[in-house]
Structure 1
Amino acid sequence: MRELRSATGRWAARTAALLLAGVVPLTALPPASAQDAPPALQPVQIVLLVDQSGSLTEQDVAAERDAARVIVQGEPARDSTVSVLGFGSANAPGRSAVDPVCPPTKPDSPQSRQFLGDCVGGIHRRAPAEGDGTDHVQALRQALSYLSQPSAEGQPKIVFLLTDGMLDVRDSPEYGRTADERNATARFRLSGVLDELNHAGVSVWPLGFGQADQKQLDEFATGAAQDRCGLRTAPPSATVIKESADLWGAIGRASSSARCTSVGEPVPGQLPSGGTVELPVEVPAIASEGTILVFKRDPRILVSYLDPNGGKVPANGDFGGSHFELGGQDTEAEAMRILNPTPGRWTVLLESRPGVPPQEVGAMTVFQGAVRALPYIAPQTPAPGSAVQFFMRVRGARTAIKDPEQLKGLTLTAELRGDGFAPVPPVELSDEDGDGEYQGRIVVPETATGRLDFVGGITGVGVSGDHQILPTRISSGAGGVQSVLNLDDAEAEVVAGTSLNGSIDVNNATGQPRTIRIELTDLSQGALVTASPEKLVVPPAAGSQRLGFTLTFDPATALGSNQGRIRLVDEATGAVLRDPVFEREVVAPPSWYESLWWLWVLLFAAATAAVGAVLLRRRRRNAERDVRGIRVELRRHGQPTGNSVKAHQHGVEFRFGVHRGESAADTRITAGSGGDRYRVQRAAGGPVLTGPSGEPLGLAPGGVLELADGVELVIHDRPARRRAAKPARGKEVRSGRTTKPKRSYDPYDL
């Protein structure tokens, strides 16, 4: 059957090889709200264990305080829970090896983050009378007790262990009689508690301070569970901080690996007494929430934050579509938390008052993007042993994310679970075209008997991952109700307040009238789209029947990408017949001035006829040079390869790139400037092709350029006047295969 095309105009072409003989009743999908809730950052449970033993110097403990502030104030998810515990040893009855520095706290307000920043200041080096040994066993057991609370269930659990790694309980009576016996007993118990942490799904990330030994610290990491940010990320490992200059970067990298956050490189600076310094920091485009951390050492230093447009943001409140909350102003490090930040280069402006000593300052960003997987499959009800093509797009907090740079580093996977077989291992999806649509192939096991759950997942450093399930069943053969969904003008923009026509081709072989309900689900934020009518009655009849409907985009719908699913449900059985994704670019209606452009043209022409004639001639000349309608195709030995790019935008030149592989068969072309750069211009005698050297290239008759080994570039030129004369056509997809009426011109000229 045919699948609905997205606004990119290429979705159906990718499913051309997918065939579905018929649709059978499916298990009804769970109800979904039309307006999709924005994806939210996944909360985590974090416990910081901070070594306060006498084997560390005062400077070492001060570095631990700085590290703790980075972690607790940089946590991006508001519903996470952060706890800080200091530890030494219990050298006498009634003493405790562990001190609760900061109780479990959610960083969900400026007040709570200020509290975390203040209580971290209570971390101190223990005196001998307080128990200045190092009892890792009791510290890790206390962390496990915090992470075993009911509120922690279902959330990732992370322990940051800040220590020099030197276990020392020789003065702790609970471990035995002699110093050697006590340390040996503690080492034995340490192995057990690490096993308990691993069994509880807790990842332990050691951070070394003072005279830390890498090998000793690695023992803590290897005993922990491995929370991963994707298929290619590393398991927990120890980080030794040897110099104070490495502190911020090392802590940031460890936090990034453990928490899957995007941590920018620290930006240092020298602040003179009574002077100012500007520190530039980058906020990634995919970020939905996070923090700018500023290390100022002295609370008397004033800090201002300027967004990429140069606007000074408030300490608390809304500005430029973002929400701001500042905390920790009265500590050595403050944190500006931002919800929905403007991506780009921000400026942190630090100002020192007279009398404040000159000092080193720094800033860094800790951000995370909330993303949602939007998968679909073809065919929707596969047979055992058949191959299924899996497609997935990524939606951010506001709209779809298509820029390959924003998606770089993410891992998108597809899995299959169901009846009659063991789960199919994850298949990593790829985006070879760089258009934001990922795809892969899954083979349904021969032993599959009923339920199938296709799972689309997103993981990666810098994002809060997501997993979406597409439930379906094994096909039981053709028959019942079969449907085909079409939507006109796949590549056209839609004006807010207008409608888009669609149709459903239905074959009802049940012998009874059936009602198909049209549901719009998973709409992107701000998308106000309705279907009319909501129900279509299909009489029993031989052959296909076409029933029309419209999609109406409300005048208040969000401008830009409007995305969602059109779900066709057979009311008699509850079966989902079709569940494709649609996407349309919505533009604002023309203003009254734009609507009356013809009047201004007439008035201008009447007043200045001569100037109008000159402008008319200039317009015609520019239209003749407009490259829209030019298409570049790659052929091999005279045969089309299906690889072509087309000029859609106004302009006097069209740029494309030729990417050469290890052999001629690997050559491909893409729009833009990647690979060997070429450009096409329209001249009176036809298209002019310019190569990477900047010199015009001679084309053979028919607009052909021989590249190498039978590989040819073919330039097709269809000027805008000819294109405008052609009626608009809806595009159809049957069984994932694009079906088009026969035409007299080049069938590859899309």
Structure 2
Amino acid sequence: MGTLWQQRRTRRGRAYRGTLAALGCAALLGSAAAPAASARVPGRAAAEPAFPAVNYAVAVDESESLAPEDMKAEKAAAARIALGDVSASSTVSVFGFAAAERAGQRAVDPVCPRTTLDAAGREAVGGCVEKLRSRKKDEGTGTDFPTAIRQGVHDLTAGTDATAPRVLFLLTDGKMDVSGSDKYGDPAHRAAEGERQLTLALREAAAARVQIWPLGFGDAPDKKQLDRMAAGGYQRGCVALPSARPRAEKVSGAGDVGPTLERVFAAAHCLRYQSGPTAQRPPATLEVEISPLATVGSIVVDKGDPAVRISYLDPSGHQVPTSGAYQKSTFELAGAGGVVEALKIVDPVPGRWKIRAEADEDHRALPVGVSVLWQGELRGAITMNPPSPRPGEKTTVTMRLQTREGYEIRDPADYAGLAVAGRLSGAGFAPLAVGLSDSGTGADAAEGDGSFTGTVRIPSSATGALTASATLTAAGLRADTRSETGTVATAAADVVAGLTLRDAEAHPGAGITGTLALHNTDDAPHTLRLSADDVQAGLLTVSPGEVKLKPGESVSVGVTVRVAEKALFGDRLTDEGLRLGSTVTVTDTTDGNRALVRSPLSVRVTPEPTFLERNWWALAGGALLLVALAVTVVLVIRQRRVRVRPSGLVLRLVSGDGEQLAEHRVGLVRTPWYGFGLTETHRSPRIEKRANGPYAVQRSPEGGAVLRTRGGGRTKVPAQGRAVLTDELYLALGDEPRRPGRRSAGWWPWSRPAPNRRPAPAPADAAPRKEYEVWE
């Protein structure tokens, strides 16, 4: 249905644009900047989502081998993950490390003490990471991994909640080097002692439940050693998925440090990470997509230069504030004065956001990069069909993915890495696993449509109630378990029901109609209840809500599912539309609330079309009619102008007694009037052509000609009559002989000259043909 809807939208869009082109008009729409605050609108879950906290530390290599651009990349990377965190309860500490190689030196340089990442803490961390530096030769330039790990374990365990994840990110451009550190004993044994201390430090980290996520960059890091550190710490991630298990990463250059660490941070923190487009120099507009599953997110901008100015536009094109509330979202900006800034958004509007980067001419040398970190909530709607199967019969279990408001999820990228576990339990048998997949095979209708389906056979020993359940688990998405209760049918139901209701597209306030066929086989009346489940209250309503059946009655009832009015959807309803997923349930309240029908329903809600969209065909027809009329008028005027051209007229100058004094023939002219004057009027009067003469003549559409006299108006010159020029001279028209086969000049096809054709040969005894001069 989505494909059909897109085709319809495409055809309507083309016709709409064609109408505007025919009318020759365009609309310019503008929107004012968004206010700093606005009341919340309906259509959103009332409960404020909770964002799990993570305690993490960032250890940054400060060894001498670091190039200036490497240190700059490490600073920006540390700021990106600190500012990008979405939980105000998370804590972070940042420290640099190298090695202590003589008295008075230290292996660790604390730069950011443990800080809670509320609004003030995020701002503070964005500034303190600038204290990181590359060490000089006399400050200790080795690489002491054991000490760095122990510092991280200390920061993460002292006074923190053991139930919150503890994560150490270790950034380095080299491998362990403690050859110059006296603390590791005799120089000949320092390498071995370093390895032993690293093993112990990793054991301490695992015991303290500290995960280690190493990131190496450049050519020097030993990937094998990085893998060893990742595997040596605590292995259980924020969720029981492989993507959340600690692992080492290695990148080739400083430019990849920030994006890679951000991706690693997302995996460790159970966040979803979306990279933006290729970095661009300002002025530029970069776009990022925010999933409809997101309940909180951070748009992280690496500006390259602190002087770059950033503004944020939501999918509707409104510039959002950087603090406070707007519409149904709240905003909090941190790091605005630094190289990296991040806008945290609670309840972000899903869709394509635009990040506009502007800078003065002397601050446009460095590219601007954008990414998004977010957490979300994924819910499911589960159905079992039939809801009351018999022992030995198969039942189909379907879990449809939804947002917490009941909107369907159809983009596989939104639930990548999702694990779905199904289970059937009930009296008389041990629980059974139900394999649910979105592969488009077996009972699953289509691949990648967000519906996970599987079948299971009801054990013959089953009695009483049945429960089909499914659990959704994905990194960055809160786990959700849904269950559907049915009953083992030991006897036929008293009421047989069949619901015909198809997926549809509708506008706000519109209704979707179907038919409910009912047959009461009982000798007692039954009351049935109809409802739209698995969707936010009010978005879809079913009528009638109740049906009463008399004993033995068979009836067909019209059912209408009505879509909520536009106001309830708020700004979620865009030109792309929304897809609501619901389950229409028919329950027999007389028979212990037995579910007779549970029918999935998908409704694509699209905005009410505008006046132009509704009437494009009439407007297009009217525009074409106007164009046709205009063309006709132009052609008529042109034809009239052609018809009155005086080309070929024979003008005769006659005296008062009718004597012809002179004759003048008008040549081919393109103007409707032919100007002329009189010369030698007293001796030998003649007519001569004068563009601005005192007289002008043109043909008359009724025949003859029209004479225009300067200051004297216009006079009709009949074909057999004459008109006054002076007291003694008159104008008359002579004959216009035409060549056979020629027609009068004109634009219309029937007035165009016929093609020249050689006349048929005359008989030998025929009289000679007369040739005439042709005038048009």
TM-score, shorter chain, exceeding 0.5: yes
**Cα 1:299/1:89, change in 2 over 3 Å:** closer
- The code of the aligned residue for 1:83 comes to V
Q: Is the 8 A contact 1:35 1:521 kept in 2?
A: no
1:341 Cα offset (Å): 4.4
2:114 to 103, 113, 121: 103
Q: Are 2:223 and 1:217 equivalent residues in the alignment?
A: no
What is the rounded CA distance, in whole Å, between the counterparts of 2:161 and 2:588 in structure 1? Answer: 45
Partner of 2:372: 366
1:448 Cα offset (Å): 7.6
1:467 Cα offset (Å): 2.6
Partner of 2:275: 264
Q: Alignment partner of 1:268: what SS?
A: coil
1:217 Cα offset (Å): 1.2
1:278 Cα offset (Å): 1.9
Instruction: State, as a whole percentage, how many aligned pairs show the same letter.
Output: 21
Partner of 1:665: none
1:596 Cα offset (Å): 12
Partner of 1:391: 398
**Cα 1:137/1:327, change in 2 over 3 Å:** closer
1:282 to 278, 285, 288: 288
Q: Alignment partner of 1:72: what SS?
A: helix
Return the TM-score normalized by structure 1: 0.59
- The code of the aligned residue for 1:520 comes to A
Q: Is the 8 A contact 1:524 1:562 kept in 2?
A: no
What is the rounded CA distance, in whole Å, between the counterparts of 2:169 and 2:369 in structure 1? Answer: 22
What is the rounded CA distance, in whole Å, between the counterparts of 2:216 and 2:610 in structure 1? Answer: 63
Q: Are 2:436 and 1:413 equivalent residues in the alignment?
A: no
Q: Are 2:93 and 1:84 equivalent residues in the alignment?
A: yes
Q: Alignment partner of 1:67: what SS?
A: helix
Q: Alignment partner of 2:283: what SS?
A: strand
- The code of the aligned residue for 1:216 comes to Q
1:182 Cα offset (Å): 6.3
Q: Deviations over 1:556-595 (max 9, x none)?
A: 5546544433344454635544443333345667899999
1:455 Cα offset (Å): 4.0
What is the rounded CA distance, in whole Å, between the counterparts of 2:406 and 2:368 in structure 1? Answer: 33
Partner of 2:200: 189
Partner of 2:601: 582
- List aligned pairs for 1:358-507, cutoff 5 A: 359-368=365-374, 370-382=377-389, 386-396=393-403, 400-401=407-408, 403-404=410-411, 409=416, 411=418, 413-416=420-423, 418=425, 420-421=429-430, 424=433, 427-431=436-440, 433=446, 436-444=449-457, 446=459, 449=462, 453-458=467-472, 464=477, 466-472=479-485, 475-482=488-495, 484-487=497-500, 490-491=503-504, 493=506, 496=509, 500=513, 503=516, 505=518, 507=520
Partner of 1:245: 255
Q: Deviations over 1:668-688 (max 9, x none)?
A: xxxxxxxxxxxxxxxxxxxxx
Q: Alignment partner of 1:267: what SS?
A: coil
CA RMSD, aligned part only? 5.3
Q: Is the 8 A contact 1:412 1:429 kept in 2?
A: no
1:215 Cα offset (Å): 1.0
Return the TM-score normalized by structure 2: 0.57
Q: Which runs of 5+ in 2 are unaligned?
A: 5-41, 633-776
Q: Deviations over 1:25-57 (max 9, x none)?
A: xxxxxxxxx988389877343343333566465
1:149 to 154, 161, 184: 161
Q: Is the 8 A contact 2:63 2:98 kept in 1?
A: no
Q: Is the 8 A contact 1:382 1:474 kept in 2?
A: yes
Partner of 2:584: 566
1:242 Cα offset (Å): 4.0
1:363 Cα offset (Å): 1.0
- Return the index of the structure with the highest Cα Rg: 2
Partner of 1:135: 147
1:117 to 118, 126, 129: 126
Q: Alignment partner of 1:73: what SS?
A: helix
Partner of 1:37: 45
What is the rounded CA distance, in whole Å, between the counterparts of 2:221 and 2:50 in structure 1? Answer: 33
Residue range with higher mean Cα deviation, 39-48 or 359-368: 39-48
What is the rounded CA distance, in whole Å, between the counterparts of 1:448 and 1:106 in structure 2? Answer: 56
- The code of the aligned residue for 1:162 comes to L
**Cα 1:228/1:388, change in 2 over 3 Å:** farther
Q: Is the 8 A contact 2:60 2:74 kept in 1?
A: no
- List aligned pairs for 1:349-364, cutoff 5 A: 349-352=357-360, 354=362, 359-364=365-370
Q: Are 2:65 and 1:65 equivalent residues in the alignment?
A: no
- The code of the aligned residue for 2:535 comes to L
Residue range with higher mean Cα deviation, 227-236 or 544-553: 227-236
What is the rounded CA distance, in whole Å, between the counterparts of 2:365 and 2:381 in structure 1? Answer: 49
**Cα 1:252/1:191, change in 2 over 3 Å:** closer
- The code of the aligned residue for 1:300 comes to A
Q: Is the 8 A contact 2:399 2:453 kept in 1?
A: no
What is the rounded CA distance, in whole Å, between the counterparts of 1:446 and 1:165 in structure 2? Answer: 60
**Cα 1:474/1:455, change in 2 over 3 Å:** same
**Cα 1:515/1:97, change in 2 over 3 Å:** farther
- The code of the aligned residue for 1:340 comes to P
Q: Are 2:84 and 1:74 equivalent residues in the alignment?
A: yes
Q: Are 2:354 and 1:346 equivalent residues in the alignment?
A: yes
What is the rounded CA distance, in whole Å, between the counterparts of 2:98 and 2:561 in structure 1? Answer: 69
What is the rounded CA distance, in whole Å, between the counterparts of 1:300 and 1:589 in structure 2? Answer: 44
1:332 Cα offset (Å): 1.8
What is the rounded CA distance, in whole Å, between the counterparts of 1:404 and 1:291 in structure 2? Answer: 21
What is the rounded CA distance, in whole Å, between the counterparts of 1:492 and 1:263 in structure 2? Answer: 31
Partner of 2:533: 521
- Structure scoring higher RCO (CA < 8 A, sep ≥ 6) equals 1
**Cα 1:89/1:495, change in 2 over 3 Å:** closer
1:547 Cα offset (Å): 5.9
1:471 Cα offset (Å): 3.5
Q: Alignment partner of 1:580: what SS?
A: strand
1:291 Cα offset (Å): 3.3
Q: Alignment partner of 2:532: what SS?
A: strand
Q: Deviations over 1:300-343 (max 9, x none)?
A: 33334456777655434667986654321112211234453463
1:260 Cα offset (Å): 4.7
**Cα 1:423/1:366, change in 2 over 3 Å:** farther
What is the rounded CA distance, in whole Å, between the counterparts of 2:203 and 2:153 in structure 1? Answer: 10
**Cα 1:114/1:535, change in 2 over 3 Å:** same
**Cα 1:528/1:84, change in 2 over 3 Å:** same
What is the rounded CA distance, in whole Å, between the counterparts of 2:505 and 2:365 in structure 1? Answer: 58
What is the rounded CA distance, in whole Å, between the counterparts of 1:46 and 1:337 in structure 2? Answer: 16
What is the rounded CA distance, in whole Å, between the counterparts of 1:376 and 1:332 in structure 2? Answer: 50
- The code of the aligned residue for 2:275 comes to G
- The code of the aligned residue for 1:522 comes to D
Q: Deviations over 1:76-101 (max 9, x none)?
A: x44662422437599899x9979583
Q: Alignment partner of 1:373: what SS?
A: strand
- The code of the aligned residue for 2:197 comes to A
